Amino acid sequence: MDNFEFYNPTRIIFGKDTIGSLASLVPEGTRILLLYGGGSVKTNGVYDQVRTALAGRELAEFSGVEANPSYETCMAAVETIRQERAGFILALGGGSVFDAAKFIAAAARYSGGDPWKICVDRKPLKAALPWGGVLTLPATASEMNSGSVISRTSTREKLFFFDPLVFPIFSILDPQATYGLPSRQTANGVIDAFVHVTERYLTFPNESFLVDRLAESILGTLMELGPKVLLAPRDYPIRANLMWAATLAHNGLLDAGMPQDWASHMIGHELTALYGVDHARSLAVVLPALLRHQIVHKREKLVQFGQQILGIREGSAERRSEGVVEGIENFFRAMGAGTRLSDYGIPASDCRTIAERAVLHQGVLGERKDLDAAAVEEILRLAARP
């Protein structure tokens, strides 16, 4: 169990009909920038609830934040903040809008030159605008962490930063706001949350007995309720448990004392940057291949996964760990996600290029920091099999 620091000052307001509490959460005396994406907040009722809750307050708007939010869009929002003299950002949407809010909050107060350096240099921020959000898509836990992933369209880069100054002041999570999500987005959210947990859990044992149990709690909940929510999208308890699971999957709780991998995310980011693959689906491709490549190094935790979550208690450790990888791949498929490069039209001949970019951007990968470009290419070739 490694040393750790835990700090998470975000206030969560969770439950039915909680959006009305906005009036007491958003600061008075400053203009609020409503930040959202393509308009789904207008069809799911969230936008109207927010306008009602904030009636009489000075509001400005910036819409059009895309999936995998771009530096270019964020900088346009920064310009709106300057013109409108907004002092608080209210993000309405999913992880993309929340990640964008963080970059915008940092960039609006950045004094170090080109704000893209926030992602490139990852130096501690000196200031950021305060912000909060109303979440409509559980997936990234951006609603309760200090991390953000931003894409630069012109260079096809997808980079991240994190800083304690960009924790949301508050996030409102009303599971009812997720009832109308397209099933593809619901499924993506479940997969994303699942892989946030495996990035910590599927490494090697380090006597973090308790945090292992917490991770298994979240993994088990996602595997049990994920397929169910596709059949019962308006079931409140299922939606509520999945929403809170996605937040806890990546709010720092599972970092406590645990080794961390993140290779699936880093390789997956390249699939998104180069081919526009949904973030979650890039993970559904990379994780099974990574686990097969690292099956010896990750064996102990794979066997533990099998025993604690899938009830696999018999057979050799080799066979049991193979069964777990198959189980995870089947789970992704049950969530409707293809798990091979070919499912997304990505040719096997691109494996080397993707691998080299991943290592160029993020360095050698994995919990042992030993996955170089050659290893990443081998992983991708496993994902290129039919």
* Chain length of the chain: 386
Report the nearest approach of a copy of itself to the CB of residue 175 (Å): 8
Report d(CA 161, CA 118) in Å as an integer.
Answer: 7
Please check whether residue 196 is in contact with residue 249, taking contact to mean a CB–CB distance below 8 angstroms.
yes
Dihedrals phi, psi of 199, to nearest 5 degrees: -60, -25
Tokens 């996600």 identify what position?
Answer: 337
For position 134 contacting a copy of itself by CB under 8 A, the verdict is no
The only residue of 23, 120, 127, 210 in contact with a copy of itself, by rule CB under 8 A:
210
Pull the structure tokens for residue 259.
Answer: 């080794």
For position 214 contacting a copy of itself by CB under 8 A, the verdict is yes
End-to-end CA distance of the chain: 39
The only residue of 118, 187, 191, 240 in contact with a copy of itself, by rule CB under 8 A:
240
Q: Name residues contacting a copy of itself, limited to 252-271 (CB under 8 A).
A: 253, 256-257
Binding residues for a copy of itself, rule CB under 8 A, total 41
* Beta carbon nearer to a copy of itself, 216 or 350: 216
Report the nearest approach of a copy of itself to the CB of residue 250 (Å): 14
From 51-59, 216-224, 267-275, 282-290, span contacting a copy of itself (CB under 8 A): 216-224
For position 18 contacting a copy of itself by CB under 8 A, the verdict is yes
Question: What are the DSSP calls for 200-220, one per residue?
Answer: HHSS---S-HHHHHHHHHHHH
Q: Report helix, strand or coil for 312.
A: coil
Report the nearest approach of a copy of itself to the CB of residue 299 (Å): 20
For position 221 contacting a copy of itself by CB under 8 A, the verdict is yes
For position 5 contacting a copy of itself by CB under 8 A, the verdict is yes
**Please, what is the Cα angle at 244 between 338 and 250, to 5 degrees?**
70
The distance of Cα 242 from the centroid of its chain, to the nearest Å, equals 14
Residue (of 158, 145, 119) closest to 269 by Cα position: 158
Report d(CA 297, CA 294) in Å as an integer.
Answer: 5
The only residue of 14, 160, 275, 344 in contact with a copy of itself, by rule CB under 8 A:
14
For position 216 contacting a copy of itself by CB under 8 A, the verdict is yes
The only residue of 160, 162, 244, 344 in contact with a copy of itself, by rule CB under 8 A:
244
Q: Name residues contacting a copy of itself, limited to 328-367 (CB under 8 A).
A: none
Report d(CA 168, CA 12) in Å as an integer.
Answer: 10
Report the nearest approach of a copy of itself to the CB of residue 191 (Å): 17
From 51-59, 218-226, 290-298, 328-336, span contacting a copy of itself (CB under 8 A): 218-226
For position 13 contacting a copy of itself by CB under 8 A, the verdict is yes
Angle (deg, nearest 10), helices 209-231 and 317-334: 40
For position 218 contacting a copy of itself by CB under 8 A, the verdict is yes
Report the nearest approach of a copy of itself to the CB of residue 88 (Å): 18
Report the nearest approach of a copy of itself to the CB of residue 19 (Å): 12
In a 10 Å sphere around its CB, with 0-12 CB exposed, 13-18 middle and 19+ buried, how is residue 360 labelled?
Answer: exposed
Report d(CA 279, CA 267) in Å as an integer.
Answer: 11
Please check whether residue 371 is in contact with residue 263, taking contact to mean a CB–CB distance below 8 angstroms.
yes
Q: Name residues contacting a copy of itself, limited to 142-201 (CB under 8 A).
A: none
For position 245 contacting a copy of itself by CB under 8 A, the verdict is yes
* Beta carbon nearer to a copy of itself, 214 or 346: 214
Pull the structure tokens for residue 377.
Answer: 């290419």
Residues 6+ apart with CB under 8 A from 130: 27, 87, 88, 89, 105, 169
For position 225 contacting a copy of itself by CB under 8 A, the verdict is yes
Instruction: Give contact residues for a copy of itself (rule: CB under 8 A).
Output: 1-16, 18, 207-211, 213-214, 216-218, 220-221, 224-225, 236-237, 240-241, 244-245, 248, 253, 256-257
